[in-house]
A and B are shown apart, each in its own frame.
Chain A
Amino acid sequence: MTGTRALRIWSKVHTWTSLISMLFMLMLCLTGLPLIFHEEIEELTQQQFAAPNLPGNVPAAPVDDVVRAAQQARPGDHVLFVTWRDEQPDTVVVSMSPTPKPMRGKFYRLVMDGRTKAVLGEERPQQGVMDIILLLHKNMLLELPGELFLGAMGLLLVVSIVSGVVVYAPFMRRLDFGTVRQRSRRLKWLDLHNLFGIVTTVWLFVVGITGAINTLAMPMYDYWRGQVLPPLLAPYRGAPVAQPSSLDQAVARVRAAMPEGRLSSITMPTAENFGSPRHLVVWMKGNSALTALIATPTLVDVDQTVPVLVPQMPWYLTLLQMSRPLHFGDYGGLPLKIVWGLLDLVCIVVLITGLYLWVAKQRFGGHARSRTATQPAEVQSTDARPA
């Protein structure tokens, strides 16, 4: 990889993959920064509804009663999901919608006190600034095409990282690690670009590639729903949507089958393709730090006498679920989020210095290089400067 010709090609690859993905990456880094702290920000801006501290040890009410209370609060609306949150053990979140198929911006989440059945508050999706930032970050407000486009940019980023590591070597032939020369602005920014880039390589690579995997979430789930669920649900297809049976009974049956798991959410019977007309889908996650990242669905027939169906989770959904925390940085408490934010800032510097170096090269050509005494012998060509 050290031939001058090969190096020049690598350098061109680095320049162009970086330039093309540059603006999008900058947008992703900037919108990603507040998103790292979205939980903390939401806590500050009221969006979270906490259960009050009750004297004594008040036991959880039956889930069926909680859901009934939610329905009484919003008569006529459809219950779509019931969700439990790790960070709010005393609450039950009931997602509801005026239509059987949830419409964008129309459905909402009732946060219920899981013990007293009181409505604590109503979360409306896609209303606040944070939701808009999230959509920008996810798909630039362009839904699936935007999401897939950003995924492609993520792959370009990966190519740009790999080529960046390759062209790092010739620059450092005569420099010690971490040297930041101050002789000219060009050299200073070049050295900063190299230093900041090389120390964040592994982190950015992981965040980039897991981000690209995340952009495939929708197609992956669609494929799974289209390939794995239909054979299981074939006998029920087109059946009228059944009255949901007891959630508590369904949970108990799933618990019996998977005693290790923790309850994550329940999808109510539905004609829509995220569930089944005749089943409650009970999502359980594992108990350990690692298995808690992976949710497994179990189908419980509304006629509670039929054995539960446990569809095999395919490898690509496991990969997807594993890649989420590694992209979000939300799996190690607030200190990890802060470090994640700092790494993000370092990457913003890499992006901006990279752009500066490219612009400077266009303006002044390669002459600045030949003035430097520490010019790497292998790179006589001015093309081999990372941009």
Chain B
Amino acid sequence: MSKPRRASHTTAQIFAAPLAIGVITALGLTTALLGDGLWDWISWIALALPVAVAVVYWQIGVKRAEPR
């Protein structure tokens, strides 16, 4: 990363993605309580999202490092 210094993010920018993930997580935790079938599916997908985000960004980081 030999780019010049980046502009500073605002607090809102920093927390936009975490907040969205948090809201979706909370949704996923709730829906499976409410019913079965479709409700469960929403829950599985919503709660898998944080795991997917973690793994994808981690792997992007690893990929970037490889060309060196």
A→B interface (CB under 8 Å)? 2, 165, 168-169, 172-175, 177-183, 188, 191-192, 195-196, 198-203, 206, 288-290, 293, 325-326, 331-333, 335-336, 339-340, 342-343, 346, 373-374, 377
Contact = CB atoms under 8 A, between A and B. Distances in A.
A332 B32 contact: yes
Contact of B34 (A174, A180, A290): A290
Interface in B1-37: 1, 5-9, 11, 14-18, 21-22, 25-26, 29, 32-36
Contact of A339 (B5, B8, B44): B44
B61 A182 contact: yes
Contact of A177 (B1, B6, B7, B18): B18
A174 B54 contact: no
Given A177-B14, A203-B25, A293-B33, 11 more contacts: A173-B9, A178-B53, A179-B57, A198-B21, A199-B18, A199-B54, A289-B32, A289-B34, A331-B32, A336-B47, A373-B1
A173 B8 contact: yes
B9 A326 contact: no
Q: Which 7 A-B pairs have the closest CB atoms?
A: A180-B61, A332-B32, A178-B57, A182-B65, A199-B50, A202-B25, A177-B17
Contacts of B25: 202-203
Contacts, number: 120
A289 B54 contact: no
B48 A333 contact: no
A332 B34 contact: no
B64 to A, nearest CB: 7
B28 to A, nearest CB: 8
6 contacts: A173-B9, A178-B56, A178-B57, A203-B47, A343-B51, A373-B5
B9 A174 contact: yes
Interface residues of B, number: 40
B32 A336 contact: yes
A180 B58 contact: yes
A28 to B, nearest CB: 19
Given A202-B25, A336-B40, A342-B48, A172 B9 contact: yes
Contacts of A340: 47
A377 B5 CA distance: 11
Given A173-B8, A174-B9, A188 B15 contact: no
A87 to B, nearest CB: 13
A288 B11 CA distance: 41
A346 B50 contact: yes
Contacts of A290: 33-34
B39 to A, nearest CB: 7
Contacts of A174: 5-9
A379 to B, nearest CB: 12
B53 A289 contact: no
A331 B33 contact: yes
Contacts of A293: 33
Contact of A191 (B5, B14, B61): B61
Nearest to B24: A202
Nearest to B21: A199
B51 A339 contact: yes
Given A172-B9, A332-B40, A374-B6, A289 B33 contact: yes
Nearest to B47: A339
A347 to B, nearest CB: 10
Nearest to A172: B14
Contacts of B47: 203, 336, 339-340, 343
Contacts of B39: 289
A340 to B, nearest CB: 8
A169 B15 contact: yes
